[in-house]
Amino acid sequence: MMKMATVNNPAARVRNYDTKGLLGVKSKYEEDTYKNGHTQVWGSYWHPHFGWGYRCCYSFDHSSKCLGDAQKKQTIKREYEYELEVNK
């Protein structure tokens, strides 16, 4: 079902949208899908040097399988070692 939306700003344009979002598309990517045993989505964890990852295991490899707490411990150690090296 298509609806019309307006903003209370006189200069604003009228836009069409439906229940999925503007123009019927929320994102070009599938959202909230869990792959390779992960319990969090890709991009739910961020590190300034290593980038985006999974919050469930702190993996920065998009195609990795979830290793849970064991992976978290390895990643925390790796992050700590990186910070020590940078701050020498």
Q: What single letter denotes the amino acid at residue 46? A: W
61 versus 13: which is more confidently predicted?
A: 61
47 versus 1: which is more confidently predicted?
A: 47
pTM: 0.61
Residue carrying the six token digits 């700590």: 80
* Torsion, CA 7, CA 9, CA 13, CA 15, rounded to 10: 0
Determine the average pLDDT of the residues in 16-20.
52
- pLDDT of 9 reads 56
State how far the Cα of 57 lies from the Cα of 37, in Å rounded to an integer: 10
